[in-house]
Chain A
Amino acid sequence: MSPAPPSRSPDLQQLRNEGYEISATDRGHLVLRHVPYVNSQRQVGHAEIISKLTMAGEVTATPVTDHVAFWTGETPCNQHGVPLPNMVNPGQHQLEPGLTASCSFSCKPETPYADYYVKMTTYVAMLEGPAQVIDPTATARTYRVVEDEDVDSPFVYPDTASSRAGIAALTDRLRGQRLAIVGLGGTGSYILDLVAKTPVKEIHLFDADDFLSHNAFRAPGAAPMAVLNTRPKKVTRLAEIYSVQKRGIEPHRYAITADNVEELRGFDFVFLSMEGGTVKRCIVERLTEWEMAFIDVGLGLKQNNDLLTGVLRITTSTPTKRDHVASRLDFSDPGPDDIYDANIQIADLNALNAALAVVKWKKLNGVYADLERECFTAYTLDGNHIVNEDLAR
């Protein structure tokens, strides 16, 4: 199934019915291929017109307020080889891997284009007209059938947020990854919330716990009481919610222990958002041995008189920087004699801890700039204060 079957949108279907070679990419672009044009040597060539797509679910959102289109050919000219006036904005754009525009077109109508049929055929006409003066058989209407691309789309519908922002090529650096989230409590569920919006291939969830009422107050979204009454597993509940948008979410209804830690082997990245000292030590040792990259997150909040204070911690371990990890993680097992063990957690701080971890993962993958290269971050609540240490060099 295509992520955005053109047949569901009347304007895209009309383009296809009239013989235009269109496809909607799962990265949120509409591509119209084989558009004839005239270059500066008065030769007829063919290239692609591309538009960002705005979708309302499975159908295009109309009218189309974004009047800009992208072009993969040379500068288009009239039949005399003179560049078409007031149309071309020079400058290359990498829209997505394998789709680079040489320039963009800007032809703003007085009222927005009624739909993508009007927008695309308007631009086609401007290019095709001069080409037909030179070669009367030149046409964009080839009636060639274009397969809708990418049956392996990471999403149920296209990521038009990235294409709208022009950053699809950047977020693509995450594509194909296999992630594991170990522990789906407050922080782990917010990590899922954020990575589920990236084009990773698989997200594996490991947690044995049930999703109880108090979890609903520390997890993204809202849980109906009817769901709580069925006492679902956390991973089952979360996989169900997020699978409506994201493909490749795999729930595992058990915890990772020394007995099954082998299951983490081979993931591209692991988020550790779990409690437990001895088990965590074992996991960290194995991931290190297997030269894997991971982030361990944790928060500590406490109540002193009427004040809530605390620290959020993000510890990053990669094959190039790990010597800090042993001194940064607490591997003690929770127990009844543990006087330091106040279990205060609050959704906004779980979410912030998760967001800082996901931001770091994106930095490691070149999506965000990373000049500090910190592998340890502590956010201190009473100062709204971040320190970065353990810099990778």
Chain B
Amino acid sequence: MTSTETPTTSEDHRERDYTIVVDGQKKVVPSDLVSYVEVVELAYPGQSGDPKYTFTVTFRHAAGEKHEGTLLPGQTVRVKKEGTVFNVTRTTKS
């Protein structure tokens, strides 16, 4: 996985980095194309998303024509340079 934690100062950003928000935390990704697996990995660092679990992944303020929605396994979304917001959670509680 190539994603990294957000550096503490913005000067550390490389020109081609993209800053997204995952569960309220800023994260940096190296490409504007972000996949379901990549976002799940960012939400649960070091734990690859176990396929037996189904995560509900929502996004908004994306760059593509579809600027809000959800990601299912295998799907990707184009993010903005900054400000695309994701949430990742298993929605199993009631």
Which residues of A come within 8 Å of B, CB atoms? 183, 185-188, 273-275, 297-302, 304-305, 307, 309-313, 327-332, 334, 339-341, 343-345, 350, 353, 376, 378, 380-383, 385, 387, 389
Contacts and interface: CB of A to CB of B under 8 A. Distances in A.
Interface residues of B, number: 25
A343 B90 CA distance: 11
A331 B94 contact: no
Interface centre among B87, B89, B90 (most CB of A within 10 A): B89
A337 B55 CA distance: 17
A149 B21 CA distance: 60
Contacts of B91: 298-300, 311-313, 330, 378
B54 A328 contact: yes
Interface in B36-52: 44, 47, 52
Contacts of B25: 304-305
Interface string B50-85: 001111101010000000111011000000000001
B68 A387 contact: yes
Which of B52, B60, B90 counts the most chain A CB atoms within 10 A? Answer: B90
Contacts of B92: 275, 298, 300, 330, 334, 341
A347 to B, nearest CB: 12
Nearest to A385: B60
A304 B23 contact: yes
A341 B53 CA distance: 11
Contacts of A380: 58, 60, 87
A273 B93 CA distance: 8
Secondary structure at the B interface, as helix, strand, loop or mixed, is loop
Nearest to A307: B24
Contacts of B72: 327
14 contacts: A183-B94, A188-B94, A275-B92, A298-B92, A299-B93, A301-B93, A311-B89, A311-B91, A327-B73, A328-B54, A334-B92, A378-B58, A378-B70, A387-B68
A340 B94 contact: no
A274 to B, nearest CB: 7
B56 A300 contact: yes
Interface in B5-36: 23-25
B56 A311 contact: yes
A48 B4 CA distance: 75
The 8 closest A-B pairs by CB, nearest first: A300-B89, A313-B91, A187-B94, A330-B54, A298-B91, A273-B94, A307-B24, A300-B91
A302 B70 contact: no
A380 B91 CA distance: 11
A387 B58 contact: yes
Contacts of A376: 70
A389 B23 contact: no
Contact of A310 (B70, B85, B89): B89
A381 to B, nearest CB: 8
B54 A329 contact: yes
A298 B52 CA distance: 17
The CB with the most chain B CB atoms within 10 A, among A300, A304, A353, A381, is that of A300
B90 A300 contact: yes
B25 to A, nearest CB: 6
Contacts of B94: 183, 185-188, 273-275, 297-299, 345, 350, 353
Contacts of B90: 298, 300, 330, 332, 340-341
Contact of B93 (A275, A304, A327, A382): A275
B48 to A, nearest CB: 12
Contacts of A332: 52-54, 90
Contacts of A273: 94
Contacts of B44: 339-340
Contacts of B85: 382-383
Given A297-B94, A304-B25, A339-B47, 6 more contacts: A298-B92, A301-B93, A330-B90, A340-B44, A340-B53, A389-B69
Nearest to A183: B94
Given A309-B23, A380-B60, A302 B73 contact: no
A238 B54 CA distance: 31
Contacts of B69: 387, 389
Contacts of A353: 94
Nearest to B52: A332
